Structure 1
């Protein structure tokens, strides 16, 4: 189904076929009588979408700055063939620019979200269960990464492959550890925040029930991904300390979480970063993204510099 039809089904005017404002997924900004709105894909099927909406509405009621489905005459969210879409109000603000204040406030926001999670998956969010990577997947992905990097004069050492294989070998052990899990947006990145001036979460649609430190690992690795105004590297140690300082105002991590942290980082790199480097060849053409990738590899090979204890 084309975008124009989707926009009209939600009750908005569309003379021309809308163009997505985001290159990797359909996200449309539309004008309404009460301001601008965002129409985007959300979780599918519709029952999952309703569970997600219940979760973010609850967060909003608890004082979390997060978008909730717009109150419009049409059903919201709504399914179109094999996808489900939702309408959110457009939030006006400033993009992240990596100031110390912004980083600490982002940490506070995630800490508040984690602290509000119940001990059980009350909203029936999808549960993280990705522990089935194989040696063959690493072999193929590593070769793709080597080939993607080579035209830019970047040599990818075998140490990266060894570290990825290590993550494969320890994934079953990690799965069996009863790490504290939380309901969380699980895509807590700078490009999903707008500062108003406090950080406002504008894309909660990947919400998941996931081990708490997996969410933190994703932040450390990819908080600066896909945002022009963000640095072309992961957090520095000082920036990570700032984020943890804000986060730690609301959450106290267990000793077991701190012990498992290196394995969690390796696993999330395997799950969330490896495919980015391997599958999206075009990203290597972008100097900023290329820099981010090389610095991510450096981070993976020097995990001791990024523990969960503030320096």
Structure 2
């Protein structure tokens, strides 16, 4: 089915066949609308919209489905599409005020999470890693570092990742507090109006709260040309947490296992990104980010909660 036909089913008309504004998923900007693929099946998408509508009703700046279009979201063949309003504003450039404000918005979101999975968002359950996966990934990463002349000590990284694999059952069973969260809270999903506005909540899930924070620490600047080509500095991370902390009281258990949470998210999110997306290595900014990510993995004491 053509994109024009999909848009027409929502009452949105385009003279030309639109092209996606995002390289990894269909996202179309037409007039004052953003039409995009979201969670499936439709029941999951409807639960997601109930969750984001709750956030918006509590003064969180987050996109929700455009009113006056029904149904929205809807099933289109095997996919589910939703139409959001287009949010105009500035992109993230790593200013201190933006970093602290982004931390505050995530704090608001986490503070509004129910104590149980009320919205039946997809629960996080990615703990089944194996040494062989690490070895395959390191092999790919090693080849890519050689190809692009990137200074990453891959044998040291391999040892560290094997160690992290061996602690997965521990982190799975310690009972970290979970939250409902967009779970893709990164700079490229925020527009500043001038306050941060979340424009992509579609990966919302029910996950350990510290995993969500660790994802911010590691990948907030990922795939964002206007952002610094590195992980947060220690001062920037302190600013992010300065914004976040007034809204959420983290538990002793979360603090105790914070480094393990970061290590787990590195294994889950960063390892595959470095190993399985070779086109990223063609971008000098991404290569610099990868170097920074590996360096950060070996100095986690510098990034407290």
Structure-2-length-normalised TM-score? 0.98
Match of 1:99 in 2: 95
RMSD of aligned residue pairs (Cα, Å): 0.9
Match of 1:250 in 2: 247
**Alpha-carbon distance, 1:155 to partner:** 4.2
Match of 1:17 in 2: 17
- 2:177, 2:209 within 8 Å by CA — same for their partners in 1? yes
Deviation readout 1:253-298 (Å, 9 max, x if unpaired): 1111111011111110011111111111111110001000010000
Task: Report the Cα distance in structure 2 between the residues aligned to 1:231 and 1:262, rounded to whole angstroms.
Answer: 23
- 1:146, 1:155 within 8 Å by CA — same for their partners in 2? no
- 2:189, 2:198 within 8 Å by CA — same for their partners in 1? yes
- 1:163, 1:266 within 8 Å by CA — same for their partners in 2? no
**Alpha-carbon distance, 1:72 to partner:** 3.1
- 1:9, 1:74 within 8 Å by CA — same for their partners in 2? no
* Pair 1:7-2:7 in alignment: yes
Match of 1:233 in 2: 230
Deviation readout 1:223-249 (Å, 9 max, x if unpaired): 001111100001000000000011001
Match of 1:111 in 2: 107
- 2:150, 2:287 within 8 Å by CA — same for their partners in 1? no
Match of 2:167 in 1: 170
**Alpha-carbon distance, 1:106 to partner:** 0.5
Match of 2:80 in 1: 84
Task: Report the Cα distance in structure 1 between the residues aligned to 2:174 and 2:98, rounded to whole angstroms.
Answer: 33
Q: Secondary structure at the match of 1:73?
A: coil
Task: Work out which of the residue numbers 174, 179, 189 in structure 1 matches 2:176.
Answer: 179
Match of 1:63 in 2: 59
Q: Which residues in structure 2 correspond to 1:43-54 (within 5 Å)?
A: 43-54=39-50
Task: Report the Cα distance in structure 2 between the residues aligned to 1:230 and 1:38, rounded to whole angstroms.
Answer: 23
Match of 2:130 in 1: 134
Structure 2 gaps, min length 5:
none
- 1:109, 1:199 within 8 Å by CA — same for their partners in 2? yes
**Alpha-carbon distance, 1:83 to partner:** 1.3
Q: Which residues in structure 2 correspond to 1:204-283 (within 5 Å)?
A: 204-283=201-280
Task: Report the Cα distance in structure 2 between the residues aligned to 1:278 and 1:6, rounded to whole angstroms.
Answer: 34
* Stretch deviating more after TM superposition (170-179 or 149-158): 149-158
- 2:217, 2:237 within 8 Å by CA — same for their partners in 1? yes
Q: Secondary structure at the match of 1:165?
A: helix
Task: Report the Cα distance in structure 1 between the residues aligned to 2:284 and 2:166, rounded to whole angstroms.
Answer: 33
Q: Which residues in structure 2 correspond to 1:140-159 (within 5 Å)?
A: 140-157=136-153, 158-159=155-156
Q: Secondary structure at the match of 2:103?
A: helix
Task: Report the Cα distance in structure 2 between the residues aligned to 1:14 and 1:97, rounded to whole angstroms.
Answer: 32
Q: Secondary structure at the match of 2:165?
A: helix
**Alpha-carbon distance, 1:81 to partner:** 2.1
Aligned length, in residue pairs: 304
Q: Secondary structure at the match of 2:167?
A: helix
Q: Secondary structure at the match of 2:116?
A: coil
